[in-house]
Amino acid sequence: MKKYVLFLMIINAFSSCDVRRKDKVADGTASLTGITAMDSTTIQIIDTAYNFGTVSEGEKVTYNFRFKNNGSKPLVVTDTHASCGCTVPEKPEKPIMPGETSFIKVVFNSKGKVGHNEKTITVVSNANPAFPPLILRGEITPVK
C-alpha cells in the first residue's frame, strides 16, 4: 500500500511540474507578443541581397546588410540566424534610435561549399512590417 501511495505522489509531482512549466511558457509568449505590437517601429532596408560573385573555396566573405529606423520608436533586433551553419550573422547589440542607420554583419565561410550558394539570413525585431529575408549568394570555385 505504501508503494502504491508513493507511486501516485511521484506521478502527481511530475505532472504538476510539467503543467506549471507550460503555463509559464505560454504566459511569456503572450506578453512578448503584446510588447512587440505596442513598441513596433518601421524600417527601410537598404540592402536585401548581396551577390559576392566568384570566390575560391576556403575564402570568407563578409558583408554588412544596411537598414534605417524610419519609425518613431527604438528598433530592437532580438535575433539573427542563417539557413546554414557556414554563415554567421551578427546583430546590433544596442537599440537603433529613430533616424539612425545600422547593419547586420554576415560572414560566410566557403570551405566545402563548391558551386552555387545562396544563404538566407532571418532577422527578428520589433519592426512592423518585419525584416524581409536577407540573401547572400555567389559561386565557389575549387582550390587548384
Q: What DSSP assignment string belongs to 55-75?
A: EETT-EEEEEEEEEE-SSS-B
DSSP-assigned beta bridge partners for residue 88: 107
In this structure, are strands 49-56 and 134-141 parallel, antiparallel, or unpaired? Answer: parallel
3-state secondary structure of 115: strand
- Tens of pLDDT, residue by residue, the chain (144 residues): 666 665 656 655 555 444 443 443 444 443 344 444 567 899 999 999 999 999 999 999 999 999 999 999 999 999 999 999 999 999 999 999 999 999 999 999 999 999 999 999 999 999 999 999 999 999 999 998
